[in-house]
Structure 1
Amino acid sequence: MLVVTRLRTPSPDPTAEQELRGGLLHALGILAAKPGYDGGEVGRNVDDPTLWVLTTRWENVGSYRRALGSYEAKMHIQPLMVHALDEPSAYEVVEEGTDLNEAQPRSIG
């Protein structure tokens, strides 16, 4: 599965950008140590330097959810999420010849 989390710094303030950058790189290191992690990157938008992305790949949704539920994630990653855009972030990878999950929301709303 693929997880794409977009985040925005409150302003193009260099201090805020450095703090978010450091936090995202630390978050990537925490996630990389978890079972089921297949890779990831931190990026910054080339047209809007206040927009950042944390992209990770996982063996399955359970691995991703367990990683987010870990103590380290709760302590170091969740505080970064105040900067996250309010949008869905988890995607299944589409490959030729595979069946997709049913097209229905996963949350109850």
Structure 2
Amino acid sequence: MLAVIRYSVPGPQSEEFAGQAREILDTFAAQPGFLTGQLSRSVDEEELWVLVTEWEGAGFYRRALSAARLVMYPLMTLMINEPSAFEPCYRSERDGASPKLG
């Protein structure tokens, strides 16, 4: 399961935001069911950031959101309000193997 949380961060807040977002990612990483995660910044719109994580399932992600709510709270006003949980439907691998999902 893929989780995508997008943020719109004014330039002057970028450094502080990045530190707080890393704390969120570290909190997620300590939760059961966490697989991978990364914080990225748009190369085209520098105010747009994304926190992307992969989970063993939606239940793990939802429980992790509860566990991380205190560290996520300061950044809530910067979040873009949109769905964040996605189930994989298809995956393509670099070596040419393309196992179908779902």
TM-score range, shorter chain: 0.7 to 0.9
Q: Do structure 1's residue 18 and structure 2's residue 15 form an aligned pair?
A: yes
* Cα shift at 1:98: 3.9
Describe the superposition over 1:44-80 as per-residue Cα deviations: whole angstroms up to 9, x where unpaired.
Answer: 001111110000000001101111112xx12111321
Cross-structure match for 1:7: 7
* Cα shift at 1:4: 0.6
Aligned counterparts of 1:17 and 1:85: Cα–Cα separation in 2: 16
Cross-structure match for 1:79: 74
Which amino acid is the alignment partner of residue 47 of structure 1? Answer: D
* Cα shift at 1:33: 0.4
Q: Output the TM-score relative to the length of structure 1.
A: 0.80
Cross-structure match for 1:47: 44
Q: How many residues align?
A: 94
Q: Give secondary structure in 2 for the equivalent of 1:17.
A: helix
Q: Give secondary structure in 2 for the equivalent of 1:69.
A: helix
Uncovered stretches (5+) of structure 1, i.e. residues with no partner: 100-109
Cross-structure match for 2:85: 90
* Cα shift at 1:12: 1.8
Extract structure 1 runs of 4+ deviating beyond 2 A: 95-99
CA contact (8 A) 2:21 2:39 kept: yes
Q: Percent of pairs identical after alignment?
A: 39
* Cα shift at 1:81: 2.1
Uncovered stretches (5+) of structure 2, i.e. residues with no partner: 91-98
